[in-house]
């Protein structure tokens, strides 16, 4: 049976008086490619930030790799990768220097080889020593992907990863996901766009009114788009 | 330690790559000293009396331009979460940025002092003592300044809030004592004369660094 | 029930002690030998200053407790105490200035470290409240102001030290406050401090209660708001 990589129970999060997450429950098994949908403002970004330990939840349990997440659990962060529409890159540094910096933070071994191979994989090797400030958005996102996986994390969280990507970059992303997934990496992504990424997912869910209200696996995917529309209609009532 | 070093180098690279930054600091130093010079040109004054306060107020307000972007820039550039994700402690972030900022502000103060001695025809005092007291005072300004900058970067009107928060805690502690000691130096004191006072200020510095180290978690976890 | 009874007891005592204290300060005690009746402001000046230090001490302790437990009630106590503290601090500075004018002929004197520390405290209070006004969320408001109050609290004795260093190496002649305290005056002083302490506690209780009611109201509003959509 698949090993449980992540378990979230009764996650609550409010911002002031606004309740964003109202008891989210989620499990991720090794090798999952889970895609979470939800309308804008449903709380997807908040949830993915909580799951990747950037943001603390107000209450609830979060277990990653079998260890419970408490404030300041640094070691678990080494196994987490996160890619968002913010590239987390320093404009004044070159592509190489950016990746080198993150290698130092994550204590990556054989830095030079790893940076080189990743830059080649995302197709940015020829721009290694150019300042990131001069990159286009698509290039920044590709570099951000390299940054997200440079420390070989076991779970990778993606927040609207296709936003701003050209077709070439989307293909690079999809290929990378599938290749890493075959090696046993787990993926969790969020998006509001039901068109992209749906095909590569093996599990899907919908976040609505602060809870995951619907989940499908594998072949049941066909019913998904209609169910999604129904739920979205339900939200405006 | 690895994290501290990595952040230290990254901060310096980001700061100095921005070529406009160095020019801006030079011009800033020039403007501050020139303002004082012209303000004082309309009255009769004893230069040796005012040298110390002018210098330290220049350091303080000039330093604020360097202090304000330390944490704000991470938020604006969107790189803040990249740091929070990494398996490093908040204290490492604090120390790395602190050390880098110390170096940068020392450079700024060097500019200010050079320009000061050009504009104000004051007798040059014992350089060794001057450098010592400036260093000790600066460590205080930078250590407390860094933590307050971390706080203010999370507030609205952060540019205004930085001096509002910094003045009550810095001016009456480190800056006031540094002005006092430096005026002794300008009056002709040597290193041995100022050692006792300087040790007090150094003690303040240690307290500030310790407080920052302990509290940075609560500021960055937002 | 018991809580309410206790509160009314405190309010009652506050009124009684304050009235007695006013009587003591203005009528009971004799005029000062050199300063005359103006000296009577001294009782309320010292009491105000002491209470402002107490208030900030409470803010400091409540901030520590908040950071440890993350319970908002400690944050409420912290800032309520600061709001009251700044009032007493302002009173302390104004009364101090009035007194200084009559004793030393000037409204302010940097060398007097009591005046100095009270001024620094006043600025710290203002900065603390300005910080809260500019915070972006309930949690960050609580977290950041708690950290700042700890920094501010640490800086008060340090600024005292800085003032002493400056004094030691730039000695100036300080006019002593003049005269020793007669027994009746000492008694009036202690009573003034007692009365102000009760006044502080009463105000703190009222302020914390008001804040709790405000939070309840916000929660109800949010629930209603959700239903109306």
Distance (Å) from the alpha carbon of A143 to chain B's nearest alpha carbon: 13
Distance (Å) from the alpha carbon of C219 to chain B's nearest alpha carbon: 23
Q: Is the pLDDT of residue C120 over 90?
A: yes
Highest mean pLDDT among A70-79, C60-69, C173-182, C192-201: C60-69
Greater confidence (C42 vs A91) lies with A91
What is the rounded CA–CA span in Å between residue A98 and residue A94?
6
Distance (Å) from the alpha carbon of C60 to chain A's nearest alpha carbon: 23
Q: Does C158 touch chain B (CB under 8 A)?
A: yes
Position C200 scores a pLDDT of: 93
Q: Is the pLDDT of residue A100 over 70?
A: yes
Query: Per residue in C201-211, pLDDT tens?
Result: 999 999 999 99
Query: Per residue in C57-103, pLDDT tens?
Result: 999 999 999 999 988 899 999 999 999 999 999 999 888 888 878 77
DSSP letter assigned to residue B170: I
Distance (Å) from the alpha carbon of C193 to chain B's nearest alpha carbon: 27
Tell me what the mean pLDDT of segment B52-59 comes to.
92
Query: Per residue in B157-203, pLDDT tens?
Result: 999 999 999 999 999 999 999 998 998 888 887 888 888 889 989 99
Is A189 strand, coil or helix?
strand
Distance (Å) from the alpha carbon of A111 to chain C's nearest alpha carbon: 37
DSSP per residue over C104-170, as a string? HSSS--TT-HHHHHHHHHHHHHHHHHHHHHTBSSHHHHHHHHHHHHHHHHHHHHHHHHHHHHHHHHS
Note the residue count of chain A.
237
Given an 8 Å threshold on Cβ–Cβ distance, is A93 in contact with B82?
Answer: no
Note the residue count of chain C.
229
Of B79, B86, B221, the CB nearest to A90: B79
Per-residue confidence band for A157, with pLDDT thresholds at 50, 70 and 90: very high
C151: which chain B residues are within 8 Å (Cβ-Cβ)?
Answer: 144, 147-148, 169, 211, 215
Closest CA to B173 of C56, C163, C148, C110: C163
Position A61 scores a pLDDT of: 87
What is the rounded CA–CA span in Å between residue C163 and residue C117?
9
- Average pLDDT over chain B reads 90
Q: Which residue in chain A is spatially nearest to C139 when comparing CA positions?
A: A16
Per-residue confidence band for A219, with pLDDT thresholds at 50, 70 and 90: low
Q: Which residue in chain A is spatially nearest to B18 when comparing CA positions?
A: A92
- If one counts every other C-beta atom within 10 angstroms of the C-beta of residue A216, the result is 17
Question: 């969020």: which residue's tokens?
Answer: A190
Query: Per residue in C135-176, pLDDT tens?
Result: 988 889 999 999 999 999 999 999 988 888 777 766 655 554
Residues of A (98-157) whose Cβ lies below 8 Å from C: none
Given an 8 Å threshold on Cβ–Cβ distance, is C136 in contact with B156?
Answer: yes
Contact A64, A6 (CB under 8 A): yes
- Average pLDDT over chain C reads 84
Q: Which chains touch B (3 or more CB pairs under 8 A)?
A: A, C
Of B7, B81, B88, the CB nearest to A86: B81
Position B19 scores a pLDDT of: 74
- If one counts every other C-beta atom within 10 angstroms of the C-beta of residue B110, the result is 14
Which residues are paired to A131 by β-bridges?
A: A94
Per-residue confidence band for C229, with pLDDT thresholds at 50, 70 and 90: very low
Tell me what the mean pLDDT of segment B117-132 comes to.
86
Look at A56-60, A227-231, C51-55 and tell me which has the smallest mean pLDDT: A227-231
Q: Does B87 touch chain A (CB under 8 A)?
A: yes
Share above pLDDT 70 across residues of chain A, in percent, rounded to a whole number: 92
Is B186 strand, coil or helix?
helix
Position C66 scores a pLDDT of: 95
Sign of CA dihedral C32, C35, C38, C39: negative
Tell me what the mean pLDDT of segment B123-146 comes to.
92
Q: What is the ipTM of this complex?
A: 0.91
Burial of A179-197, coded b for 16+ CB within 10 Å and e otherwise, reads ebbeeebbbbbbbbebebb
Given an 8 Å threshold on Cβ–Cβ distance, is C219 in contact with A15?
Answer: no
Please give the model's pTM, rounded to 2 decimal places: 0.89
Cβ-count burial of C173 within 10 angstroms (0-12 exposed, 13-18 middle, 19+ buried)?
A: exposed
Position C33 scores a pLDDT of: 67
Share above pLDDT 90 across residues of chain C, in percent, rounded to a whole number: 41
Of C134, C162, C163, the CB nearest to B156: C134
Q: Is the pLDDT of residue C8 over 90?
A: no
Contact A113, A56 (CB under 8 A): no
Q: Is the pLDDT of residue A201 over 70?
A: yes
Per-residue confidence band for C129, with pLDDT thresholds at 50, 70 and 90: very high
Tell me what the mean pLDDT of segment A118-138 comes to.
91
Given an 8 Å threshold on Cβ–Cβ distance, is A16 in contact with C137?
Answer: yes
> Best mutation site among C138, C141, C227, C228 for testing chain A: the one with the most A CBs within 10 Å?
C138
Of B10, B84, B87, the CB nearest to A75: B87
Residues of C (72-131) whose Cβ lies below 8 Å from B: 116, 120, 123-124, 126-127, 130-131
Distance (Å) from the alpha carbon of B91 to chain A's nearest alpha carbon: 11
Q: Is the pLDDT of residue A113 over 50?
A: yes
> Best mutation site among B155, B209, B210, B216 for testing chain C: the one with the most C CBs within 10 Å?
B155
Q: Is the pLDDT of residue A168 over 90?
A: no
Given an 8 Å threshold on Cβ–Cβ distance, is A16 in contact with C221?
Answer: no
Q: Does C212 touch chain A (CB under 8 A)?
A: no
What is the rounded CA–CA span in Å between residue C120 and residue C117?
5
Q: Is the pLDDT of residue B34 over 50?
A: yes
Given an 8 Å threshold on Cβ–Cβ distance, is A105 in contact with B78?
Answer: no
Per-residue confidence band for A218, with pLDDT thresholds at 50, 70 and 90: low
CA distances from A63 to A4, A131, A167, A213, B131 (A): 9, 38, 36, 21, 53
Tell me what the mean pLDDT of segment A21-47 comes to.
87
A18: which chain C residues are within 8 Å (Cβ-Cβ)?
Answer: 222
Radius of gyration of chain A (CA): 18
Sign of CA dihedral C159, C160, C166, C170: positive
Residues of C (96-135) whose Cβ lies below 8 Å from A: none
Share above pLDDT 70 across residues of chain B, in percent, rounded to a whole number: 99
A74: which chain B residues are within 8 Å (Cβ-Cβ)?
Answer: 87-89
> Best mutation site among C151, C163, C168, C172 for testing chain B: the one with the most B CBs within 10 Å?
C151
């Amino acid at each position: 049976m698949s090993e449980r990589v992540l378990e979230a129970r009764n996650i609550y999060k409010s911002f002031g008086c606004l309740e964003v997450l109202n008891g989210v429950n989620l499990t991720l098994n090794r090798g999952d490619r889970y895609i979470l949908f939800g309308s804008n403002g449903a709380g997807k970004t908040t949830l993915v930030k909580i799951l990747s330990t950037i943001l603390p939840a107000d209450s609830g349990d979060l277990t990653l790799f079998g260890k419970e997440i408490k404030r300041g659990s640094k070691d678990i962060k080494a196994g987490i990768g996160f890619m968002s529409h913010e590239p987390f890159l320093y404009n004044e540094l070159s592509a190489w220097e950016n990746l080198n910096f993150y290698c130092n933070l994550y204590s990556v071994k054989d830095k030079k080889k790893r940076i080189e191979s990743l830059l080649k994989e995302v197709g940015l090797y020829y721009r290694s020593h150019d300042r990131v400030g001069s990159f286009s958005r698509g290039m920044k996102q590709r570099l951000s992907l390299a940054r997200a996986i440079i420390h070989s994390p076991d779970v990778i969280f993606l927040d609207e990863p296709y936003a701003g990507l050209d077709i070439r970059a989307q293909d690079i992303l999809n290929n990378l996901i599938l290749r890493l997934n075959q090696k046993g990496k787990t993926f969790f992504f969020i998006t509001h766009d039901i068109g992209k990424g749906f095909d590569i997912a093996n599990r899907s869910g919908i976040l609505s009114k602060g809870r995951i209200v619907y989940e499908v696996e594998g072949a049941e995917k066909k019913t998904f788009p209609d169910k999604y529309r129904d739920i979205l209609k339900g939200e405006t009532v | 330690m690895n994290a501290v070093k990595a952040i230290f180098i990254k901060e310096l690279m980001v700061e100095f790559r921005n070529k406009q930054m160095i020019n801006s600091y030079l011009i800033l130093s020039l403007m501050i000293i020139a303002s004082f010079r012209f303000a004082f040109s309309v009255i009769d004054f004893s230069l040796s009396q005012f040298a110390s306060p002018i210098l330290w107020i220049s350091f303080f307000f000039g330093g604020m331009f360097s202090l304000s972007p330390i944490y704000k820039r991470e938020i604006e550039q969107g790189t803040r979460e990249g740091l929070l994700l990494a398996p490093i402690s908040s204290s490492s972030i604090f120390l790395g940025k602190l050390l880098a900022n110390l170096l940068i502000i020392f450079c700024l103060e060097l500019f200010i002092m050079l320009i000061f001695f050009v504009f104000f025809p004051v007798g040059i005092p014992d350089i060794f003592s001057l450098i010592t007291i400036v260093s000790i005072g600066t460590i205080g300004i930078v250590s407390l300044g860094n933590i307050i900058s971390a706080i203010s970067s999370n507030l609205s009107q952060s540019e205004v809030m930085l001096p509002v928060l910094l003045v009550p805690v810095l001016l009456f502690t480190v800056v006031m004592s540094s002005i006092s000691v430096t005026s002794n130096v300008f009056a002709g004191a040597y290193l041995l004369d100022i050692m006792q006072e300087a040790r007090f200020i150094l003690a303040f510095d240690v307290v500030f660094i310790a407080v920052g180290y302990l509290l940075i978690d609560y500021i960055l976890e937002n | 029930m018991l809580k309410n009874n206790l509160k009314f007891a405190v309010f009652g005592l506050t009124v009684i002690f304050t009235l007695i204290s006013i009587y003591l300060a203005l009528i009971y005690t004799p005029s000062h030998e050199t300063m005359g009746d103006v000296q009577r402001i001294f009782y309320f000046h010292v009491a105000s200053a002491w209470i402002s230090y107490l208030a900030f001490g409470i803010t400091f302790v409540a901030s520590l407790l908040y950071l440890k437990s993350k319970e908002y009630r400690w944050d409420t106590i912290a800032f309520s105490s600061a709001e009251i503290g700044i009032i007493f601090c302002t009173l302390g500075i104004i009364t101090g200035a009035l007194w200084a004018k009559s004793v030393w002929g000037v409204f302010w004197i940097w060398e007097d470290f009591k005046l100095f520390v009270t001024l620094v405290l006043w600025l710290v209070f203002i900065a603390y409240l300005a910080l809260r006004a500019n915070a972006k969320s309930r949690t960050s408001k609580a977290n950041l102001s708690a950290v700042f109050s700890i920094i501010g609290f640490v800086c008060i004795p340090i600024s005292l030290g800085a003032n002493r260093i400056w004094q030691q190496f730039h000695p100036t002649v300080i006019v002593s406050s003049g005269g020793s305290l007669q027994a009746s005056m000492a008694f009036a002083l202690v009573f003034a401090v007692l009365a102000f302490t009760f006044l502080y506690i009463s105000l703190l209780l009222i302020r914390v209660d008001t804040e709790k009611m405000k939070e309840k109201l916000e929660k109800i509003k949010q629930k209603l708001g959700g239903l109306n959509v």
